[in-house]
A and B are shown apart, each in its own frame.
Chain A
Amino acid sequence: MTQTTVEYAEKVLLSGNEAIAMAAVDAGVKLASGYPGTPSTEILENLAKYRAVYCEWAPNEKVALEVCIGASFAGARALSTMKHVGLNVAADPLFTAAYTGVRGGLVVICADDPGMHSSQNEQDNRHYGPAAKVLILEPSDSDEAYHFTRMAFDLSEEFDIPVIVRTTTRVNHGKGVVHRAAPLDLSGRHCSLEVNPQKYVMIPAFARARHVVLEETLNKLRLHAAESELNRTDMKNDRSVGVITSGASYQYVMEVIPENWSVLKLGMIHPLSDDVLSRFCSSVERVIVVEELDPYIETAVKALGFKCDGKNLFGLQGELNPDLVAKGFGIPSSSTTIPAKALPPRPPVLCPGCPHRGTFTVLKKLKTFVSGDIGCYTLGVNKPLDGIHACVCMGASLGMAHGMGHVLSGAEKKKVVAVIGDSTFLHTGINSLINMVYNKSTGTVFILDNRTTAMTGQQENPGYGTTLMGEATNNVDMVALCRAVGVEHVYKGNPFDTVKLHELAKREIERDELSVVIVEKECVLAFREIIEEPLTIDALKCIGCKACLKVGCPALVWDGAGKKVTVDITLCTGCDVCVPECPVDAFIVPEKKNRGEV
């Protein structure tokens, strides 16, 4: 979607993320910075295509938000995007930005993932509203994602406060019809410096005064919430049941609700309006709160002294859907389904030709305990590789390995290695490497450098060589970086040459000093040019021992009838990781044309 193909005030079909990007353009945003994370990633990717807004990927969410705060202080509207766990990284600047307030509208899109479609937890970021004392809006579909994002910038400036637009996976990735409104023309607004230390310098004396201002602002917002069109009440004559809901849950409620039930749909999640809640609760006989994850609204209703049902009917885990909402309401299902049949799962796997496969094959043979991190390589946890033994959050692998190393001894201490991707290493891994150097770790760190942020769809990062806007740029020299923080033993390995990598890894794991092995080969999805002619197997030689299948490559297919392994030539990329596994040299390897040596 480019600006030239979109006519204003038109109906368009957009995902929530596309709608947010369009809203940012139409709201006159000047700068956007974020870190990729499903389900938020496509917002910046789409925004960059408009060319009207300067967009960048930051190495982590804290940096992204700080960049946006700077732009806001200079008077520009700024947008920061991240997933729910990313806001934990950015929490430090966020809490204080609430004190300083803004100059240009400052909006953070925070995408929660109920159901954990691609996340390590399902934290409910609505709690950041009361914790960080910022305004939170919650849209329920693409159309609202567009209009709420636009309103978020206006409210941010009107009330001098950062605004979080809290979305969930269904809203980010669902598509719906968006009614675009005329864009705002902010071309006359010039950025400038404003010297106002009492507002922008949060030393304790100034911050104490700002805290008073912030609480006043929140009170004003509570009054605003009581009148705002963001909170909508649909009262029916029959007052027996009233439902309070917000976000994606609203859509499921509307799908299944009996016609005589009243609904309060909240668009402003923090601050909640006591007035709006009280008015609604006191005008119906029974209140039911429908919300995903935590009892956020339910707790507020109960704190006002009203009885209500909520989590007792819908539970604390996962995504809702029309069936779960109907069931919670006690509405019997009229549908019939075909009888269930047991199926094997189909978990996501490392792609054919993925460079991580070689590293895990080697680490498994060396019987290591792998402290892992967040990225494609986390898929190495699956059988048959069984390659990850701990994984908590972005950047944690090095810190955890260091901690384990300190409390273990002997052979167990030697077994621990850390693996981390290039993007994650630059995100928050580098800090932990500095710590390992400073605090005399003797561990081994494997940086799996595939030149991109592969997991979220191959976004650029500081090691990539181009910016989000498509310009050529510097790229981080990983070897020099590791040396610069004080690592003496830094080596490069090729994950497609598992024989040599095995020797290198064994030597460095044995070493009683800290070492970093940079295993470098491009992501096969991002850099198609590394694909070689597919391998084939000499059926006469193959003894059906299945040794090659242990690398877990989808391109190797077991032919049960013939008791042989065959190669799916539409999938094989000729990476050769399977070749040394064959005890009888049955693979036929074509000459390599595309692959330079590391």
Chain B
Amino acid sequence: MSKITNILIAGVGGQGILLASEILSEIALRLGLDVKKSEVHGMAQRGGSVVSHVRIGEKVFSPLIAQGASDFLLSFEKMETLRWQGLIGPQTVSIINDTRIVPTNVNVGIDSYPEDLDAYFQQNMKKYFLVDASQLATEAGTIKATNVVLIGSLARLMHYDKQIWLDVIQEKVPPKTVAVNTKAFELGYNAVAQ
């Protein structure tokens, strides 16, 4: 079987994770590849953890990524980077939004938010990028474009033609926000080095 590229996208409900996985899948289709993606809807949008599996290759069977087999991790929140650690291997290339979203149970003092995340990333991940996507999105024009900033960073690291990413994004976002999202994509693209 030829190599399949596995992309795991993780974050918190409401951050635009589904749109990110949607864009990736559409790109795969345009490249003439087989693609499967899987995520769970329903309660997840109410501030819970959300994960999306995207698998791209010549022929894809399972919609779920196997243990340790993620090639890329696109993480929308710092702690959520590790929620699905069973799916992340040392070889996984990670893009991490440098943002904390504190769960309500932490806020009311039932749990605590891990404080040593940066050290943990450094110790256990071979290649990762911390991107201040919220800040870059604000620079582009709206904090709502945070997800497109992160997609921009992923585009830099995946070897698909940049123009295809831009074409698909411009089709998928609301027409009024094309300029802002294009800028957000570029800022994200330039935020990570090859």
| A and B are interacting partners | yes
> Does A70 sit within 8 A of B, measured CB to CB?
no
Number of A-B contacts (CB under 8 A): 184
Q: A175-B25, A175-B35, A335-B68 are in contact. Are A570 and B143 (CB under 8 A)?
A: yes
In the bound complex, how far is the Cα of B34 from the Cα of A416, in angstroms? Answer: 55
Judge whether B175 is part of the interface by a CB distance below 8 angstroms: no
Q: A341-B114, A343-B114, A554-B104 are in contact. Are A333 and B46 (CB under 8 A)?
A: no
Is A550 positioned at the interface, with any CB of B under 8 Å from its CB? yes
Instruction: Give min CB distance, A496 to chain B, whole Å.
Output: 19
Binds B, one of A207-215, A277-285, A344-352: A344-352
For residue B143, which residues in chain A have a CB less than 8 angstroms away from its CB?
570
Q: Report how far A382 CA is from B48 CA in the complex, Å.
A: 12
**What 1/0 flags go to B11-26 for Cβ under 8 Å of A?**
0110000000000011
B49 within 8 A of A: yes
Shortest distance from the beta carbon of A494 to any chain B beta carbon, whole Å: 22
With A141-B63, A345-B103 as known contacts, state yes or no: A118 contacts B110, CB within 8 Å.
Answer: no
* Distance in Å: Cβ of B14 to nearest Cβ of chain A: 9
B98 within 8 A of A: no
Minimal beta-carbon separation of A248 from chain B (angstroms): 8
Contact of A117 among B35, B40, B87 (CB under 8 A): B40
Could you tell me which residues of chain B, from 40 to 74, have a CB within 8 Å of some CB in chain A?
40-49, 60-69
B77-85, B148-156, B177-185 - the one binding chain A: B77-85
Least CB distance, B7 to chain A, in whole angstroms: 13
> Please, which residue of chain A has its CB at the minimum distance from the CB of B38?
A174
Decide: B88 and A337 in contact? CB cutoff 8 A: yes
Given contacts A376-B46, A383-B108, contact A344 B103 (CB under 8 A): yes
CB of A337 within 8 A of CB of B68, answer yes
A263 to B125, CA, bound (A): 38
Distance of A285 Cα from B38 Cα, bound (Å):
35
- Interface assignment of B29: CB less than 8 Å from any CB of chain A: yes
B36 partner residues in chain A, CB cutoff 8 A? 141, 174-176, 251
> Chain A residues with Cβ under 8 A from B125's Cβ?
338
CB pair B48 A174 closer than 8 Å: no
Which of B42, B60, B90, B105 meets A455, CB within 8 Å?
A: B42
CB distance from A176 to the nearest CB of B (A): 5
**Residues of chain B within 8 A of A287, CB atoms compared:** none
In this complex, what residue of A is CB-closest to B62?
Answer: A255
Q: Once the chains bind, are A341 and B82 in contact (CB under 8 Å)? A: yes
Chain B nearest CB from A183 CB (Å) reads 21
Query: B67 and A333: CB pair below 8 A?
Result: yes
Q: Which B residues between 80 and 117 are near A, CB-CB below 8 angstroms?
A: 80, 82-83, 85-90, 92, 102-114
Q: CB distance B120 to A341 under 8 Å?
A: yes
Given A174-B37, A341-B114, A346-B103; A351-B47 close (CB under 8 Å): yes
Question: Mask for A24-61, Cβ within 8 A of B = 1, else 0?
Answer: 00000000000000110110000000000000000000
B48 surroundings in chain A (CB, below 8 A): 346-349
* Chain B interface category by residue count: 35 or more
In the complex, how many angstroms separate the beta carbon of B26 from the nearest chain A beta carbon? 6
Which of B39, B89, B107 makes the CB contact (< 8 A) with A338?
Answer: B89
Cβ-based interface call for B124 (8 A): yes
For this complex, into which size category does the number of interface residues on chain A fall? 35 or more
Q: A321-B62, A346-B80 are in contact. Are A556 and B67 (CB under 8 A)?
A: no
Min C-beta distance of A531 to chain B, whole Å: 15
> Are the C-beta atoms of A348 and B102 separated by less than 8 Å?
no
A276 to B111, CA, bound (A): 54
| CB <8 Å contact, A351 and B38 | no
Q: Closest residue of chain A to B94, judged by CB? A: A338
Asked if A486 is an interface residue, CB under 8 A from chain B, the answer is no
Q: Which of A41, A254, A379 contacts B46 (CB 8 A)?
A: A379
Known: A338-B85, A344-B112. A251 touches B61 (CB 8 A): yes
Beta-carbon contact of A13 and B39 below 8 Å: no
The 4 closest A-B pairs by CB, nearest first: A118-B42, A335-B68, A344-B111, A38-B42
Enumerate 21 A-B pairs (CB-CB under 8 Å) in ascending A order.
A175-B38, A176-B36, A252-B62, A255-B61, A255-B62, A321-B66, A326-B66, A333-B67, A333-B68, A336-B89, A337-B88, A338-B124, A339-B85, A341-B82, A348-B46, A379-B46, A456-B42, A457-B45, A554-B47, A558-B107, A558-B108
Residues of B near any A CB (own CB < 8 A): 12-13, 25-26, 29, 34-49, 60-69, 79-80, 82-83, 85-90, 92, 102-114, 120, 124-125, 143
List residues of chain A with CB under 8 Å of any chain B CB.
11, 13, 38-39, 41-42, 117-118, 141, 169-170, 173-177, 248, 251-252, 254-256, 321-323, 326, 333, 335-351, 376, 379, 382-384, 455-457, 546, 549-550, 552-554, 556-558, 570
Further pairs besides A346-B47, A347-B48: 7, Cβ < 8 Å: A42-B41, A169-B40, A176-B35, A252-B64, A341-B85, A549-B107, A550-B108
